[in-house]
């Protein structure tokens, strides 16, 4: 399973005039809380203590910057100004602070946040943990396909936009339902961090019965209508089938049918897995505790 990197450059920190590659994973990190703690401490301290504290902080930052440079390819990085402060940040923290919003790309990657939610299975059982669903920056390459062909193609993806595809195996999961197997994959972690056909709440914000799930503004359909969203211009082909996007949400009584959504109108239709052809925007689920760069 491909995991995000473990560091993030705080956008509020001083930016270096040189550039550290986004995939550089520094081992030595300056905790931003240390900086705030020193500021509070210095407020009522003698000048000599302030100078001493600043010297120690400067040494930590310089060491972190040197570590970043030594891990970068030769000749590609040169820091000529004050280095940036590197801090650890989880996806949940970035969302809480407003640094990462639906429709925006995950820092250091090109996957796009679509929804923060807690999935439920067809029996209404909750996953028990909240995940962040990210959509790919493009539809699955190729002409519109049936659901069965799309899910098989997604399963063969390797390092596509940074993640592998999730392979549906009915024997391993103990069910012939792709939707149910995907839910089990979230439970055991095998479907976390891998591309799959998205659930309907990720595509249009609603469940199989048409009820809104979570924040109604967090889904691919709504975000595709936003001019500032990275999901804008969702349709990439001129064919009629390409205007439809598949979900893996199955009909409760007829699991051979899945929901598809018309973009940008939002009309929803049941499609047979073996007949109906449309595009699909693969999604990848990440737990909020995962660290980002």
In this predicted structure, the answer to whether residue 279 has a pLDDT above a threshold of 60 is yes
CB 118 within 8 A of CB 131: yes
What's residue 30's pLDDT? 41
pLDDT tens string 20-43: 344 444 334 444 444 444 445 555
What's residue 206's pLDDT? 96
Q: 221 in helix, strand or coil?
A: helix
Higher per-residue pLDDT: 16 or 1:
1
Confidence category of residue 71, pLDDT binned at 50, 70, 90: very low
pTM: 0.72
What's residue 26's pLDDT? 38
Contacts of 195 (CB under 8 A, 6+ apart): 136, 154, 157, 160, 163, 164, 165, 166, 282, 283, 284
pLDDT tens string 84-109: 555 668 999 999 999 999 999 999 89
Confidence category of residue 55, pLDDT binned at 50, 70, 90: low
Can you read off the two tokens belonging to residue 157? 């993806």
In this predicted structure, the answer to whether residue 6 has a pLDDT above a threshold of 60 is no
Of 194, 210, 186, the closest CA to residue 261 belongs to: 210
Handedness of CA 274, 175, 134, 22 (dihedral sign): negative
What's residue 44's pLDDT? 57
Contacts of 281 (CB under 8 A, 6+ apart): 135, 136, 138, 139, 140, 198, 203, 220, 234, 245
Confidence category of residue 181, pLDDT binned at 50, 70, 90: very high
What's residue 49's pLDDT? 63
Confidence category of residue 45, pLDDT binned at 50, 70, 90: low
What's residue 281's pLDDT? 96
Min mean pLDDT across 14-18, 22-26, 250-254 is at: 14-18
Other CB atoms within 10 A of residue 201 CB: 24
Higher per-residue pLDDT: 133 or 78:
133
pLDDT tens string 199-249: 999 999 999 999 999 999 999 999 999 888 998 877 766 678 889 999 999
In this predicted structure, the answer to whether residue 60 has a pLDDT above a threshold of 90 is no
Higher per-residue pLDDT: 10 or 113:
113
Q: Where are the domains of the chain?
A: 8-88, 101-287
CB 69 within 8 A of CB 28: no
Average pLDDT over residues 148-153: 97
What's residue 72's pLDDT? 45
Share of the chain above pLDDT 70, in %: 69
What's residue 246's pLDDT? 96
């Amino acid at each position: 399973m491909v995991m995000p990197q473990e560091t993030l450059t705080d956008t509020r920190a001083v930016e270096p005039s040189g550039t550290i590659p986004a995939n550089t994973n520094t081992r030595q990190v300056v905790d931003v809380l240390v900086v705030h703690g020193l500021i509070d401490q210095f407020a009522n301290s003698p000048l000599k203590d302030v100078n001493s504290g600043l010297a120690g902080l400067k040494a930590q930052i310089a060491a972190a910057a040197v570590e970043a440079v030594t891990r970068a390819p030769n000749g590609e990085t040169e820091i000529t100004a004050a280095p940036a402060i590197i801090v650890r940040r989880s996806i949940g923290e970035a969302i809480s602070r407003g640094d990462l919003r639906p429709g925006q790309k995950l820092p250091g990657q090109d996957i796009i946040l679509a929804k923060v939610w807690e999935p439920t299975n067809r029996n209404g059982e909750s996953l028990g943990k909240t995940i962040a669903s990210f959509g790919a920056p493009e539809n699955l390459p190729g002409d519109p396909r049936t659901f069965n062909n799309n899910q098989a193609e997604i399963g063969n993806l390797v390092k596509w936009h940074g993640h592998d595809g999730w392979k549906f195996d009915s024997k391993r999961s103990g069910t012939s339902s792709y939707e149910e197997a995907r839910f089990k994959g979230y439970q055991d972690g095998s479907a976390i961090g891998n591309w799959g056909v998205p659930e309907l709440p990720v595509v249009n914000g609603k469940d199989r019965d048409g009820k809104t799930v979570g924040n109604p503004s967090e889904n691919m359909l709504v975000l595709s209508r936003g001019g500032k969203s990275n999901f804008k211009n969702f349709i990439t082909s001129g064919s009629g089938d390409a205007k439809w996007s598949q979900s893996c949400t199955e009909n409760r009584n007829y699991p051979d049918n899945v929901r598809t959504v018309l973009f940008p109108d939002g009309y929803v239709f049941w499609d047979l897995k073996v007949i109906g052809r449309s595009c699909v925007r693969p999604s990848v689920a990440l737990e909020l505790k995962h660290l980002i760069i």
